[in-house]
Amino acid sequence: MTISPFAPKNFPALPPIAGFDMAVAKAGIRYKGRTDLWVLRGAPGTQIAGVFTKSSMPGAPVTWSRRALLAPDDRKSARLIVVNSGNANVFTGEAGDKAAQLTADVAQRVYGADSAAVILASTGVIGEQLDVAKIVRAMPDMAANMSDDLWEESARAIMTTDTYAKGVSVTTQIGGVDVTINGIAKGSGMIAPDMATMLVFIATDANISQAVLQAMLAGFNELTFNAITVDSDCSTSDMVILAASGAADHPIISDPQHPALDDFKTALLKVMLNLSHQVIKDGEGATKFISVNVSGALNDDSAKAVAMSIANSPLVKTAISGEDANWGRIVMAIGKSGEPADPNKLTVSLGPLVIARRGQPVKSYKETDGAAYMKRDNLEINVDLGLGTGVFTAWTCDLTHRYIDINADYRS
Amino acid sequence: MTISPFAPKNFPALPPIAGFDMAVAKAGIRYKGRTDLWVLRGAPGTQIAGVFTKSSMPGAPVTWSRRALLAPDDRKSARLIVVNSGNANVFTGEAGDKAAQLTADVAQRVYGADSAAVILASTGVIGEQLDVAKIVRAMPDMAANMSDDLWEESARAIMTTDTYAKGVSVTTQIGGVDVTINGIAKGSGMIAPDMATMLVFIATDANISQAVLQAMLAGFNELTFNAITVDSDCSTSDMVILAASGAADHPIISDPQHPALDDFKTALLKVMLNLSHQVIKDGEGATKFISVNVSGALNDDSAKAVAMSIANSPLVKTAISGEDANWGRIVMAIGKSGEPADPNKLTVSLGPLVIARRGQPVKSYKETDGAAYMKRDNLEINVDLGLGTGVFTAWTCDLTHRYIDINADYRS
């Protein structure tokens, strides 16, 4: 397997977070010789927020976890998150629902948690039955070996076609008290807005009500995980989970506008941006990380539609893979977006190089400058529609031979 | 250049059509040593219908031709269609508009036509000025060498990344009188619904009013050229033109429901289906021709959205390129379409092989049968949503290494 050129040398340091411990196991669900099962336990009282795929074909774990988040939380039971890789438990009919129930039941029995307090996530092949017996067999040993310092191992256990484990940690303060946010993510292909085959788990010791957690997660999700695309394909299994143990020694925050939350919001957005960018940098076959900045749209929604049309265009993405400053394809992608746009008001730049201003090619732009710029790993496409004040930034990667290799030649 | 495996051995026989003659030239607009300019002349009285790209960034020729179709037709002047390849005259500002005007002016002068009677089309690179002087220089010689028997040469002159020339001819009757329909097309990449870098010119000697021609063309376009996708990218330059000289000896048809038109409608749809399929079979890098048949949707629009979601999915298309019967990706693409769908009512088949029926994997389905089926050149994906009576068929090709080669390594 070719490792992404953006892979960091080392997994970042993720410290223990009060109120959480975890375990990993080699359950042998599909992969041999590697971990594929992860349990994260939050202390009683842990509050959990989540956002999920908008697919109309969600996997059984997505349906299960949506329901679990709605269940009343009596704060007496530990909260568990159980994640397997290798099998997505999607399009598996009633047997798939039973597999989800059985996984929650065994977690309840082994860990002494309410089964309604269990969040499930699965990622991997679609349409094959999940062999729950393997999970059942692995779990007692996991419960006997819980640790608060296994974040890297956790990030590895949930990988599928990922070429590196993804994690980030940020420390901030609420009311003068230090709080930490750790996040891990998996995702590499089938990544598109409205989530992706992307699983993200964020844990913090902050003491914040579920409603406030949910509002922050859903809001920032639009600017981060819903603003990235590898291949325009949206998965059946995506979720982003935010769990807060409340172990930090500050009064509970129940008002989303509470000023003590300002720094935490900045830190959470930073964690989510970082992880979403890591997913793109490990996009299947990616050699370029591309920011698509759209401004001057009639409104932000229109800016997002234009940015996504560019970020999803196979012709834009193949040109970038070939280091061809083929900006005509950017114009094409703006045109196909269906959003209001006027060729005579359009300004297009590659990084600092203005290529066309208000519809007219800029004479000082030289193709050789464009060609030199395209050799960079990190590229910016800047589009000003010249119509209004709407802005949006989307992130994507290039479309390369290796994307075809990965997806034509193997079944992940 | 690798020729499409679907390329026919020979260009089909396209007979002369009364009321039309044509010429081609090597104007040297971009390509060396090949024809790149085509003029089709319709006798005075020729009626022309057209449908155009929905891009908000249309090329100057698209804007020009839309206007030309609106101009009153006094039937005294010949009608001209002037097409160049090598430069799309898109995003070229005022100079581009002037280039279009100048091309029409010189056609008017050389051929004695009203410039308002000239239809223009251009295809090729975006954002570079079209050197009209080359067209001006070539045209007198073309006017002196018009012929009614140059359909294959015409199809070749409008090619860009096409690997073979595309044409079809069908003969039918109106009121007992023989009429002929000839069509030529170019298109290979940047092909998506709402047209594509696709130029299609259809000529007939039938005597039909402009309004009826326009209604038939627009209606059938939804079932043919707007039902195909190579890469989901939609061009700035597309058009489908239908010209009728009226030379056939039958009374003019001015009623779209006239029973004498029934056979002609069938023949026209056949021509448009054939050409749209040829475009897909020459899709950049295509090795598979895929029909996506969706039934059981709430309505036809919903069926189309589901069919297009499957046909545009890079993960579905790469799996097919790898001959992997990865039907989980079909389920994913249905799920991401945003259309009403219920996993428990969904039936998915590959050709005759039913893989899942009403949400349950079919036990008699064997992966080896699926693998054998995927080796075919012509594949059918059949999806029954089990919700209603809506149906739609879309056509696409696979996504291969050669698509990346063509689009990453060359600027067309």
Q: How would residue B412 be classed by pLDDT, with cut points 50, 70 and 90?
A: very low
CB contacts < 8 A, A to B, total 198
Which of chain B's residues have a Cβ under 8 Å away from the Cβ of A319? 407-408, 411
pLDDT recorded at residue B195: 32
Q: Which CATH architecture has domain B289-409?
A: Roll (3.10)
Q: Residue A62: helix, strand or coil by DSSP?
A: helix
- Burial (Cβ within 10 Å: 0-12, 13-18, ≥19) of residue A408: buried
Arithmetic mean of pLDDT, B111-138? 88
From B103, B123, B180, B197, active-site residue: B197
Q: Are B89 and B130 in contact (CB under 8 A)?
A: yes
From A160, A163, A172, A197, active-site residue: A197
User: What ipTM is given for this predicted complex?
Assistant: 0.78
pLDDT recorded at residue B228: 87
- The larger pLDDT score, comparing residue B407 to residue A246, is at A246
pLDDT recorded at residue B196: 39
Which of chain A's residues have a Cβ under 8 Å away from the Cβ of B234? 332, 335-336
Average pLDDT of every residue of chain B: 90
Q: Residue B157: helix, strand or coil by DSSP?
A: helix
pLDDT recorded at residue A195: 32
Instruction: Record the pTM.
Output: 0.84
Q: What is the pLDDT of residues B364-401, one digit of tens each?
A: 999 999 999 999 999 999 999 999 999 999 999 999 88
Q: Which residue of A has its CA nearest to B309?
A: A233
Low-confidence ranges of chain A (pLDDT < 50): 191-196, 412
| Residue of B54, B161, B315 for testing the chain A interface, max A β-carbons within 10 Å | B315
pLDDT recorded at residue A238: 82
Q: What is the DSSP string of A137-180?
A: HHHHHHHTT-BS--HHHHHHHT-SS-SS-EEEEEEEEETTEEEE
CB-closest option in B231, B331, B359 to A236 = B331
Q: Which residue of B has its CA nearest to A95?
A: B360
Q: How would residue B125 be classed by pLDDT, with cut points 50, 70 and 90?
A: confident
Cα of A312 to nearest chain B Cα, Å: 9
Closest CA to A377 of A320, A325, A336: A320
Query: What class is the B20-281 domain?
Result: alpha beta
Closest CA to B157 of B126, B185, B197, B134: B185
Which of chain B's residues have a Cβ under 8 Å away from the Cβ of A126? 328-329, 331-332
Q: How would residue B193 be classed by pLDDT, with cut points 50, 70 and 90?
A: very low
B224 is catalytic: no
Q: Where are chain B's structural domains?
A: 20-281, 289-409
Pairwise CB contact (< 8 Å): B399 & A400: no
CB-closest option in A91, A336, A401 to B401 = A401
Closest CA to B251 of B159, B320, B176: B176
Cα of B72 to nearest chain A Cα, Å: 28
pLDDT recorded at residue B336: 83
- Give, for A271, the enclosing helix (H) or strand (E): helix A262-281
User: What is the percent of chain B with per-residue pLDDT over 90, rounded to a whole number?
Assistant: 67
| Residue of B53, B98, B233, B358 for testing the chain A interface, max A β-carbons within 10 Å | B233
Alpha-carbon gap, residue B146 to B22, rounded angstroms: 5
pLDDT recorded at residue A234: 62
Pairwise CB contact (< 8 Å): A56 & B340: yes
Pairwise CB contact (< 8 Å): B126 & A411: no
